[in-house]
Amino acid sequence: MPFTVSVVVQLPAHSALAGPLSYSCEQALAPGSLVRVPLGRRETLGVVWEAPAPPDGAQLKPVTTVLEGIPPLNAVWRQLVGFAAGYYQRALGEVALAALPPQLRELDAAQWHRRLRRKSRETETALQADVPPPAPTAEQAQALARIQSEDGPFLLYGSTGSGKTEVYLRAVQAALAADPQAQALVMVPEINLTPQLEERFVARFAPAFGRQALVSMHSGMTPAQRLASWLAAHTGSARIVLGTRMAVFASMPGLRLIVVDEEHDPSYKQQEGARYSARDLAVYRGRLESRHGGQPCRVLLGSATPSLESWHHSRPAAEGGKYLRLAMPSRVGAGRLPAVRLVDMGQQPRNTQLAPQLLAAIGARIARGEQAMLLLNRRGYAPVLACGSCDWKSLCPHCSAYRVFHKIDRSLRCHHCGYAERVPRACPECGDVDLAPVGRGTERLEEHLAHLFEGMERPGAEGEDRRVRVLRIDADSTRHKGALEEQLAQVHAGAVDVLVGTQMIAKGHDFRRITLVAAVNPDGALFSSDFRAPERLFALLMQAAGRAGRDASQGAASEMWIQTAHPQHALFAALRRHDYPAFADGQLAERMQAGMPPFSFQALVRADARTQQAAQAFLTQAASQVTGLPGADQVLVYPAVPTAVQRVANVERAQMLVESASRGALQQFLAAWQAVLHGTRRDGGIEGVLRWAIDVDPLMV
């Protein structure tokens, strides 16, 4: 007698079939089993789910193949996926299948069995020598004691250089030592931070558990590598998983500790497809694992500049706090945080790129054999190429944005759609050959510094090349595989005197020779329409400052220079004192008065269409039908407006903000509004609407 099973599959976006589909099977299958099933004219991977059986007499297609040899995905994983799909307003199958490695979705039964046989023949790699860990500082020991004795979640608020990574290592060590089946998940915001963290974890844990007990998960891995890591985590042979935001969905049956490093980083928020926050899901997953596992799964969020949401949640429990705040204000080795110096650019000659006093300070560092780092969060040579005779500028023909001038390959490149072409010999409008770059990017700053220090020599032995070396690290210079690792190695080896880069060099790196950090042009975020811009700027500057003086012997002489036209701004006053609590409390007070997150809850409904009129008409028509929906009386729906960059790749984009003082009311409203949005797209009579999406808890409004 055939059994009926409910299977979750990945369906087309906005499909009317959002839940599990029913199939027949010759055997009873446990929930979480992986199967291949027919879907239309193709065959696809599915996950067996709990759902009511179909009515009697229904004609069901049979399950094609059961992927045997792999344990079912457990109840906690399925609950996590179900919660993420519901909260972020996405189809269950979309979240479930996206959480699985791509190669697993592509393998048929025969390929799967070959893969399992190959895995069984893999041998253990050689172990590294055991190196005793450093003794913890008093602040580290106090934080670790609380992590062991309390359930959390914890917010580890530690200044840059305070040794947060050592706390992570020891917390992982304690979790694994307490239970031979225990696993730990350590998350980082970006791929380029994974290798150096992996080195430290391998050195600490490979001697005890073997190299294969530690795996990585991020999008830079090959499909085969991602599958191997996922299988190791799912079967429990991997005791530690290091990964980016995707790793929050890793199947780990023995999970007992989740670490989210740099928890404030916006990279933890997915911006395409299911727009989930990996940080928030990590906290929720810890609660689920504790509820089902019989022992606590602790969650440790770490940052020198926590997100305002996490800072608010870590207030005292008597005031409604949900997290336990662990403070580590001191640097390891009694090192000092760099002194912050402000340069008033209003007092400098017009078009000054680098103030003379900053250049003198950089030169002094080079002469002493130290390193300097300059932060400019804009890649390329210049953001715009313009004609001096007419109003022509390098607009992208497909986007409402300028193409950036890249001097190295003489190209104009759009950083939104990727469209690129050679720089024209003359103005396309008037024929004038006088085309000039406007503004500065990292390429131009690198060129300018190389010219300024061309005649200077660095300390070195006789016969050695003593020319000053300026190195740029950004998304363009690290495009090729292995380029970032090679460039970082040069910095660590002292072969670089001045490092120029975007925000990718400002966080997580342990540069021991850097004693001066400078932010060249940070003012753009001070008066942004985005209410989160000051928070992001403060975090970026404080993280960048933390790259200086990490060697305790040089801490007293380390400096952070900031070139600004607004030296009296309150943000810089807090930064000079390294006073994140004062900055955070001030920002939270402003947000409370304005009724903004975390004191309210938001969602954005975005629409893409052939014309801006169609995109806004779709949103407006859907908003006109909200009366009577559950939760509508507690929700405020704002008018539709164009997005900040309203056209990308010839697609017009509009958005509508939905806000409520109640998270529950907002969720109830969005779930009911889904049907209205589907109906408006299908029957609204608005032509040219391509797609729409709901972004819950958006980072950019």
Nearest to 442 by CA among 472, 416, 484, 469: 472
Rounded to whole angstroms, the Cα distance separating 211 from 125 reads 6
Nearest to 62 by CA among 106, 11, 2: 2
Q: If you search the block for the tokens 């792999």, which residue do you land on?
A: 70
Query: Any idea of the CA torsion for 274, 278, 284, 289, to the nearest 10 degrees?
Result: 110
Sign of CA dihedral 455, 460, 464, 470: negative
Nearest to 325 by CA among 290, 301, 297, 296: 301
Q: What angle do CA 643, 589, 694 make, to 5 degrees?
A: 30
CB atoms within 10 A of CB 173: 18
Rounded to whole angstroms, the Cα distance separating 607 from 641 reads 10
Q: Is the peptide bond before 153 cis (omega within 30 degrees of 0)?
A: yes
Rounded to whole angstroms, the Cα distance separating 561 from 338 reads 9
Do 529 and 642 contact (CB within 8 A), yes or no? no
Do 532 and 699 contact (CB within 8 A), yes or no? yes
Nearest to 446 by CA among 495, 497, 481: 497
430: left (phi over 0), alpha (psi -120 to 50) or beta: alpha
Letter for the amino acid at 24? S
Rg (CA), the chain: 27
Rounded to whole angstroms, the Cα distance separating 24 from 462 reads 80
Question: Is 297 assigned to a binding site?
Answer: no
Question: Is 430 assigned to a binding site?
Answer: yes
What would the 3-class secondary structure string for 300-356 be? EEEECCCCHHHHHHCCCHHHCCCCEEEEECCCHHHCCCCEEEEEEHHHCCCCCCCCH
Question: Is 387 assigned to a binding site?
Answer: yes
Q: If you search the block for the tokens 């609950």, which residue do you land on?
A: 79
CB atoms within 10 A of CB 359: 15
Rounded to whole angstroms, the Cα distance separating 246 from 217 reads 7
CA distances from 690 to 27, 92, 548, 634, 650 (A): 42, 22, 48, 30, 12
Tokens of 553: 């012997």
Residue positions forming the annotated binding site for Zn(2+): 387, 390, 396, 399, 414, 417, 427, 430
Residue positions forming the annotated binding site: 387, 390, 396, 399, 414, 417, 427, 430
